[in-house]
Amino acid sequence: MPDAIDAFIDALPKAELHVHLVGSASVPTVLELARRHPDHGVPTTEDALRELYTFRNFDDFIRVYLTVNGLIRDPADVRALALGVARDLAAQNGRYVELTVSPYTHVQLAGMPAAAVTEALDDAARTARDRHGVRVAYIFDFASEYGAEAAPATLDHALTHPPRDLVGFGAGGTEKARASCWDAIRDAFTAARAAGLHSVPHAGETTGPETIWAALDELGAERIGHGTSAVRDPALVERLRAERIPLEVCPSSNVATGQVPGLAAHPLPRMIEAGLNVTLNSDDPPMFGTSLSEEYRRVAAAYGFGVTELADLAAATVRASFLDDAAKSELVAGIGAAAESAGKNPGE
């Protein structure tokens, strides 16, 4: 990669819309927790942990993710992880993040009080802004494999003990598991939207376009997590393009979980060429051996993206966020200034 592009990526102000709290735990943090809780089966050496993070398929990734999630035992762990995300983003010139948290696993499965989890998240957001200059907002989601119980429980937490900066409601995990609990999921999304939360479900990551259609038509999706299978359906591409529905694309994640064989086969370039509203994200960066800046480097190298294309991706991510208009304008202006300093302007 040319040094100028590398330097531009470092200087580029960034936002991230699709990154998970537990999946963002750094390797040292996971090792610390694993040594603190040796009964949980997570490796306590770095080499063994990195071996654990070599996924055979998406189901294997979910198994490992839930295993690591089981190490989060008290609200102090939740706070530390959220603050770690902000610290890591600040080191990459990240300015804003919508961090996905799955409170069901902390409250119902680990036994933490809902109010204590919320207090930890609020404290992390305040400290992140004061200490690192990073604004943190939250999305509450649940794993679809727990949907019958987790969807209403997550909704209840969102309505009765919401973090101050809660902006969205989502669903992740195994998409094919949703069929058995679809009514509970749809009802939870309907109530969340009525309460003013944005609908941001994962869809079309491990399934076909039909899951994206259902997210749009029945869950009122305003953004789609992943959405990479959309390119298989011309009618869906047309709808997403016409309605400017943002897609939270996470290339290294899709490679690591076996959804595509490599970056060369990833549909991201085709999605952009089709006029879709693409944002760039890291998903679970330590688990996938990446970071937000590294995602920009990888797409630059894989697809020959230069300053203009990378700045456009960064600006699209900001515009797709739930930031207020003034903050969006300020961040987009910063992206433009970085591009101009590098000799180009977004959209040029």
List phi, psi (to 5°) of 168.
-145, 170
> What is the average pLDDT score of the chain?
94
Predicted TM-score (pTM) of the model is 0.93
- Position 152 scores a pLDDT of 98
- Within-domain flag for 277: yes
Mean pLDDT value of segment 209-224: 98
* CA 335 – CA 346 distance, rounded (Å): 8
Q: What is the pLDDT of residues 64-122, one digit of tens each?
A: 888 888 888 899 999 989 999 999 999 999 999 999 999 999 999 889 999 999 999 99
SS3 state at 138: strand
Q: Who's near 285: CB < 8 A, 6+ residues apart?
A: 19, 23, 24, 88, 291, 292, 294
Q: Which residue carries 């009080």 as its tokens?
A: 113
- How many other CB atoms are found less than 10 A from the CB of residue 212? 30
- Position 193 scores a pLDDT of 98
- Within-domain flag for 348: no
Q: Who's near 335: CB < 8 A, 6+ residues apart?
A: 12, 13, 311, 314, 315, 318, 346
Q: What is the CA radius of gyration of the chain?
A: 19
- How many other CB atoms are found less than 10 A from the CB of residue 164? 11
- Within-domain flag for 72: yes
Is residue 258 within 8 A of residue 57, CB to CB? The reply is yes
Indicate which CATH number applies to the domain containing 56: 3.20.20.140
Residue whose C-alpha is closest to residue 277's, from 304, 303, 247, 236:
247
Q: Which residues are catalytic?
A: 205
SS3 state at 12: coil
Q: What residues make up the domain containing 43?
A: 3-341
- Within-domain flag for 334: yes
Residue whose C-alpha is closest to residue 248's, from 218, 262, 232, 268:
268
Q: What is the pLDDT of residues 253-291, one digit of tens each?
A: 999 999 999 999 999 999 999 999 999 999 999 889 999
- Within-domain flag for 50: yes
- Within-domain flag for 195: yes
- Within-domain flag for 206: yes
Count how many domains the chain has.
1
Residue whose C-alpha is closest to residue 230's, from 253, 255, 209, 200:
209
- Within-domain flag for 51: yes
Mean pLDDT value of segment 187-211: 98
SS3 state at 269: helix
